[in-house]
Structure formats: structure tokens, C-alpha cells
Homo-oligomer: A and B are copies of this chain.
Amino acid sequence: MQTKRHIYLKKKTREEALDIFLAALPDYSEWPEEEMPVKDALGRVTSRQVQAVFFSPTANVSAMDGLAVNSADTFGASETSPIRLKIGEQARFVNTGETVPDGFDAVIMIEDIHQPDEFTIEIMAAVPPWNHVRPIGEDIVVDEQILPSGHMISPPDIGALLSGGLTKVWTRKMPVVGIIPTGDEVIEPGQIPEPGQVVESNSAVLAAFLKEWGAEAIRYPIVKDAPDLILAKAARAIEKSDLLLIIAGSSAGDRDHTADVIAQMGRVLVHGVSIMPGKPVILGIVDKKPVIGLPGYPVSGIIAFDLFVRPVISRMLRRLFPKPDSVKARIARKLPSKLGQEEYIRVKLGNLGGKYIAATLARGSGVITSLTRADAMLKVPMQSEGLDAGSEVEVYLLKSRQEIDRSIIFIGSHDPSLDLLADYLARKEMGLTLSITHLGSLGGLMALKRGECHLTGIHLLDPETGRYNIPYIQKYLPGKKVHLINLAFRDQGLIVKSGNPKNIKGLEDLVRQDIRFVNRQSGAGTRLLLDHWLVRMGIGNSLIKDYRREVFTHMAVAALVKSGGADCGLGILSAARSLGLEFLPLAKEQYDLLVPEEYFDLSGIERLLDILGDKGFKRDLESMGGYDCSNTGEVQCLN
């Protein structure tokens, strides 16, 4: 294996990098334009000032349903000396929008007309000239500006343009962005990955962002990790692009060729920015066109793209993208961060009694679901080593505040039925979401105690009494009024490979040297259950190989067993079944939801209770395997 490695150019701060990049690029005040049909020009930016060709209205028209009169005929009219006008001669019926006939200059509203007989109206007050008449050009005057240049066209603008006689409009050309995905291990969507292969999804994500921003993406086929192939493709692509993106290979590893390729074509301005995720980004310029090497990790790539590509598109289109909304939030747990790098943390937000609480999501730059699940982004500045639990921070919203405000926050033990519950909730009421964070039973109980969630889910066996959950609630939430709602009884057991090739019979086999175990994190109900059983069986933790290898969910346990990364782990039947694994049942346990009194009347919680009482939900839950719904939805009020 080759061991040659690149060296980063001196890393830059985000601000330095952007300054260097933008200073090297054209200012884009000049940009190609194209003429568009007005009706298709929504969201496009005008490249020239647009002036009206027609008047609107095109004549003096009535603003009301009524009678057109000549104002001079009405002078001197009063209650005591009314003036009579002959309909048809001195007064004519006109509808809203109709041209006021020649010789008439005012309109009396239909509601104000007094008709002594069919052919006559009686006027009690003088009518001023132009009363209820819209003069020609009231809205739009020929030659006057309808839109300035550099204006993004909205739906009403389309109306003004058409009314002003325009059917075509000059707009700034859509920037064309070439996207070249690279990598030996990446495969096209639709192909089945071998272990270690990755579906190339980044280009589709970037293309979707570009569509939202008003640019066009040309996505080229995946190129292998070979510098000459990448160079050949990039050299052709740059000719058809206003901006070129090369995905992956932007780091300093021995398969990372992007920086070399850009240097051969033009100039590398920046390689490496002190941001996390997104550090290994390359900002370059080729023939006055920006060429950017993006990290292959999805979150890294998206963040670098947003920071360095969006400003360029903005300049090309002269379109100011609105800043995201922000709110003040309290961070739930201590958040360490590396000094000297600006970190972008994805968080879930909950509105708990009027205050926003932020819970951090997975920080790995490869975890795309940390972005899809995020409600907001938190920026930890370069000079910070992190934030203490409880500190108030500003977070930038990725969803609407309304949506966040209506979210029901669940932090607690993992169970696949929660996703089913969330789906039922979303179906039942528009815009109501169940936001789920897996933190184990004890973690959930503590989060509830600290006011970080609306509800938790727990399955905690008290070894002394043999009772579930209530002893823990009494211990950790003394005196707090709470509602305990049964979700289900479920089967816990050992998840093993299909066919049980290592012939595992029970927990006593965990001490075997040929058995690779995967454990749950401490504080998980399943971990407590294991520890309780091990104590009862007299098996010391230290005898179990990999006892400290921890994952956070039942599905993660099943996934490791499925992949061969482990031989067995403790978990629930539905997790084993969904991956086609075998299951050795050990016990039936009680999984309950816990809601404090103050949130029990929330409409979202009421909807959840409705769903737990729903036969369809129970049927769907039982069909997942290992669930007993005989008590589902039963509520106990404690304290």
C-alpha cells in the first residue's frame, strides 16, 4: 500500500478563506442575461430595468358598479333641492372595470342611488369630478419603471409585468454548476452496495440546494480515484460550467487528488479551513471560474458548500439570500468543542413551557441523518472550548418556528414502536411531530427531571421489588405529579445470527472466548436488565469480552450482529426480526411512557393518547413482533 501523503496548505479561518476566494473571483456585476417569458420568470432576477409598454387601466374606468354621470350636471344638488337625471341620457349604468363613456366624468355607487321611477335618478349632493373613476394609468404608466434591475420576480410582479404590456423579460442567466463525484468506493444510486461501498448521494443533495437557490446543476458520472481521469473530466466540465464542484478527494490522504487536479488546471487559493465539519475544503480558480473541492462526507460537504458556494451563486444572480431565523435556546448538556475551529453543531429544539431547549445530534461529519433530523444549527466559535450545560446560545433555524413549537419532545429509551407512533401522529394532525432522541431509560428520566422533554419512555426493572418503572420514578422524581402510560409489554432476549452458528443458548455463553458481544450504553434499561441478570447468575462483567463495546439502540445491536461485527447482543424481538436474525427470548418487560402533569393537557399528548387507544395502531404494533398490547394506553396518575 502506498504511503505518500499530501500536506494541507496552511489552514485558514472561514472569514479569511471567503475573503481570499471572493477577492480572486470577478465581482459578477456583469453577467450573461437571457430573455424569459414573463409567465415562467418566477424567482428569476431582472438584468435590466423594466418599463411599461401599456397604461393600466388603459382608459378611465369605473371603480364601482354604479351610474356614470357628468359631475357638472350635479353641482348645486342638495337634500332640499335634489337634481333629477334621466337614465340613459344623463346617467348610464356601468359595471366595475367598465370604461366611463365619453362625456361622463364621475360614478355614483349603485348603493347610493335613489330612483323615483324606472327612468330617473335623484341626486342629493354634488359629485366631484373623478368620483369612483380610476383614471388611465392609475396603476401603470407607459415608460415608467415596473421593476428595477437586480430584482427577484415574485408572483405579483408577474401580474404587473403582464399588465404593463410585457410578455418577455430580461433576466440574469441561471448559473450552471458542474458536479463531478469521485471515488473508487462510491456507486450510482440504484446499485446495490458491497460492504464498504457508498451510494453517491452528495451530488443530488447539492443539485437540490442549487435548484432552491436558482442555479442549474449538471451532474457528471462518478470518476474513479485516478488523477488523470479526474483532470480530463474536470477540464471538459469547466468549459460548460460557471462554477465547478469536485466531490471527495479534497483531504490530504494518499487517494486525495482534487487539490493536485485544481492546481494543474489553475490555482488552489485555499486548502483547509478551520471549520468542523467541512475542514478539508479546497477553494480554487480556473480561467476566472471558481472550482471547489468539497469533502466527501455528506455533512462536511454540505456545510462547506453552504459557506463557500452560496455566496458565489448569490453574486452571480445578485440575489440576496435571506438570513435564517434565529432563537435563543438553552443547551441541555455540556458541549465540548475543539479550540481553534469553528464548529457547526446540529441540534433538535423543543419548546418546553415557552423556552427553547437544544439537544445536540450526532456530530460525525458522515451522519447525514444528523442534518435531516436537525431543527437548528448552533455555531461554536473558534475561541471556545465548548459550552456548559444550561448555557444560553443563539441557534439558526432549519425549520419554521411554528413547526418547532408544535413538536412533542421525547427523550428516552429506544423502541421501534416510537417511529410507528410518530407516523400515526403525523397522519392524524398536520404539522404535529414527535421528535425522538434515544438516550436510554435513565437518561430519559433525568432529561424529564431537568425539563428537557415533554415525555420519556422507560423500562426499568427494580431488582428488589421485581416491579417496573414506578420505584425509579419514586426515587428520581419524588413528589412530582406524573402520568404513566403503558406503551406495550415486549420481549427482550439475545439477538444472534440467523441459524445461530455459534450455538448460543443463553447469557452464560457470553463468557466464551469465541463470542464477540455488543453491549448497550450504561443507563439503558436493557443494560440494567443485563447487569441485573449477570449479578443474579454470578457472572462478573470483566469475564465478558467486549463488555465495554456500546451502541445506543436495539437496531444498532442487530445491525452489528447482522454484519458480523458481533455474535450477539441483548435486544428486542422486533429489531431481530426486521433484519432477519434469530432471537432467544429471555423475558417480557414493561415499556411505559411518562408525562409530567404540566404537559398532560398539551394537544399533542392528547393526540398520542388517542392513538394508543386506536385498534389499528395496536394491530400494527403487534404485527412488528414481540409486543403485547393488552395494557396499551392505560394511564396511571402518580403522586
Where the two chains meet, the residues of A that have a C-beta atom closer than 8 Å to any C-beta of B are 1, 3, 5, 29, 38-39, 42, 49, 54-61, 63, 65, 88, 92-93, 95-99, 110, 128-130, 134-151, 154-163, 165, 167, 183, 185, 189-190, 192-202, 204-209, 211-212, 251-256, 296-298, 302, 314-315, 318-320, 322-323, 325, 362, 364, 366-369, 371-372, 400-403, 416, 419-420, 422-423, 426-428, 430-431, 433, 546, 548-549, 551, 553, 555-556, 558-560, 562-563, 565, 578-579
Contacts and interface: CB of A to CB of B under 8 A. Distances in A.
Nearest to A41: B208
Contact of A198 (B57, B144, B372): B57
A3 B93 contact: yes
Given A189-B167, A208-B155, A372-B146, A559 B136 contact: yes
Contact of A320 (B138, B165, B369, B402): B402
Contact of A136 (B3, B96, B200, B563): B563
Secondary structure of the A contact surface, majority rule = loop
Given A150-B426, A371-B156, A135 B298 contact: no
B134 A400 contact: no
A102 to B, nearest CB: 9
Nearest to A53: B192
Contacts of A155: 205-206, 208-209, 212, 302
Contact of A201 (B142, B150, B163, B563): B163
A163 B298 contact: yes
A196 B39 contact: no
A605 to B, nearest CB: 18
Given A98-B185, A160-B372, A419 B49 contact: yes
Contacts of A38: 189, 204
A134 B366 CA distance: 9
B93 A419 contact: no
Contacts of A61: 196
A196 B100 CA distance: 9
29 contacts: A1-B93, A38-B189, A42-B211, A55-B563, A58-B196, A59-B563, A61-B196, A97-B296, A129-B548, A134-B364, A135-B551, A137-B555, A138-B364, A139-B366, A142-B579, A143-B555, A147-B372, A148-B422, A150-B427, A154-B372, A155-B208, A158-B204, A159-B202, A160-B201, A160-B371, A162-B189, A163-B201, A320-B400, A323-B402
Contacts of A366: 57, 63, 97, 134, 138-139
- By Cβ-Cβ distance, the 7 closest A-B pairs, closest first, are A99-B196, A137-B559, A322-B400, A162-B201, A155-B208, A59-B195, A143-B578
A634 to B, nearest CB: 26
Given A134-B366, A146-B369, A320-B400, 4 more contacts: A5-B110, A159-B202, A160-B368, A163-B201
A145 to B, nearest CB: 4
A161 B364 CA distance: 18
A611 to B, nearest CB: 13
A549 B372 CA distance: 61
Contact of A196 (B98, B163, B320): B98
A137 B562 CA distance: 10
Given A148-B419, A155-B205, A155-B208, A140 B369 contact: yes
A151 B549 contact: no
Contacts of A129: 546, 548-549
Best-surrounded residue of A3, A140, A159, A251 (most CB of chain B within 10 A):
A159
Contacts of A161: 201
Contact of A208 (B140, B158, B190, B368): B158
Nearest to A115: B3
